[in-house]
């Protein structure tokens, strides 16, 4: 078993909360309402994964599965500037995959295997957002079972990539403000674990006062629950 790697989310407090950054061989889920910062953290990680290890990166590339057209190259450039990195190089290390529907999304995730086998040093897979297509396509009680089955297939493929190639998987999930936020997780469905043995981190993002954000670790295999405050700036995520 390869050594677990960690990718910095930009903020020291946030990194400390999750044990030093998001982990390879795991799926990390952030959930929260609109504007809570899910896409911002995704963009941050797409840059920080490229940093040297001593700066919180894995000197690797990223696959960004974009399901709602939220990927913004301009935002990547701003964050790259904050780290004094070369824009073009940073952008060229991000493989954008626009998923048009849930089947396409599933296929794209599975095709990451080939991308890696072709020699691309992928260290991070982002799915922003995981659930949008599934929610839109499988409407009504009677389709819930099929939706869950497809979602399981998708998550299983992501976990397999994480394990096989020592990759971190980061997924975003939009949920209502609260309190049912805790029950809206695709990775931990009501009535049983969707991912079974998989080690999964779940982080709840909330909007705080004065533009601040709160991250709450709500589920982790071995870390205590806790919270931290972070900010979103033009340079990216900071304490």
Q: Pick the stretch among 57-65, 153-161, 183-191, 227-235 that binds ligand ATP (CB under 6 A).
A: 227-235
Euclidean distance between CA atoms 133 and 171, whole angstroms: 14
Q: How far is the CB of 132 from ligand ATP (least distance, A)?
A: 9
List own/partner pairs for 187-192 with CB under 8 A and 24 or more apart: 187/27, 187/29, 187/155, 188/219, 189/148
Cβ–Cβ < 8 Å for 42, 28: no
Nearer CB in complex with ligand ATP: 25/40? 40
Query: For ligand ATP, which residue of 20, 156, 233, 238 counts as binding (CB under 6 A)?
Result: 233
Q: How far is the CB of 145 from ligand ATP (least distance, A)?
A: 26
Residue 161 CA to its chain's centroid (Å)? 14
Nearer CB in complex with ligand ATP: 25/187? 187
List the interface residues with ligand ATP, window 192-221 (CB under 6 A): none
The total number of residues written for the chain in this structure: 239
How many residues belong to the site for ligand ATP (CB under 6 A)?
14
Query: Nearest 5°: phi and psi at 155?
Result: -65, -35
Nearer CB in complex with ligand ATP: 11/25? 11
List the interface residues with ligand ATP, window 161-180 (CB under 6 A): 174
Nearer CB in complex with ligand ATP: 35/196? 35
Query: For ligand ATP, which residue of 4, 12, 20, 70 counts as binding (CB under 6 A)?
Result: 70
List the interface residues with ligand ATP, window 26-55 (CB under 6 A): 32, 34-40
Cβ–Cβ < 8 Å for 56, 228: no
Check binding of 122 to ligand ATP (CB under 6 A): no
Q: How far is the CB of 79 from ligand ATP (least distance, A)?
A: 9
Q: How far is the CB of 182 from ligand ATP (least distance, A)?
A: 17
Nearer CB in complex with ligand ATP: 34/100? 34
Q: Pick the stretch among 90-98, 157-165, 188-196, 226-234 that binds ligand ATP (CB under 6 A).
A: 226-234
Strand order in the sheet with 212-219: 94-98, 61-66, 122-128, 168-174, 27-32, 200-207, 212-219, 226-233, 236-238
Contact residues: ligand ATP, CB under 6 A? 32, 34-40, 70, 78, 174, 232-234
């Amino acid at each position: 078993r390869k050594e677990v790697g960690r990718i910095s989310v930009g903020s020291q407090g946030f990194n400390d909360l999750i044990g030093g950054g998001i982990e390879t061989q795991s799926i990390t889920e952030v959930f929260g309402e609109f504007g809570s910062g899910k896409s911002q953290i995704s963009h941050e990680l797409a840059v920080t994964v490229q940093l040297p290890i001593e700066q919180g990166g894995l000197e690797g590339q990223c696959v960004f599965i974009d399901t709602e057209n939220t990927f913004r190259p301009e935002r990547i450039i701003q964050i790259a500037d904050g780290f004094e990195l070369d824009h073009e190089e940073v952008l060229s290390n991000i493989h954008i995959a626009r998923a048009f529907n849930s089947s396409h999304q599933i296929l794209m995730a599975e095709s990451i295997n080939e991308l890696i086998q072709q020699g691309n040093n992928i260290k991070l897979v982002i799915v922003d957002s995981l659930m949008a297509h599934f929610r839109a396509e499988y409407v009504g009680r009677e389709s819930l079972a099929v939706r869950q089955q497809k979602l399981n297939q998708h998550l299983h493929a992501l976990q397999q990539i994480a394990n096989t190639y020592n990759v971190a998987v980061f997924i975003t999930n939009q949920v209502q403000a609260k309190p049912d936020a805790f029950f809206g997780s695709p990775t931990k469905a009501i009535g049983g674990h969707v991912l079974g043995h998989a080690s999964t981190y779940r982080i709840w993002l909330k909007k705080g006062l004065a533009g601040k954000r709160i991250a709450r670790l709500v589920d982790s295999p071995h870390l205590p629950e806790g919270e931290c405050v972070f900010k979103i700036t033009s340079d990216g995520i900071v304490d």
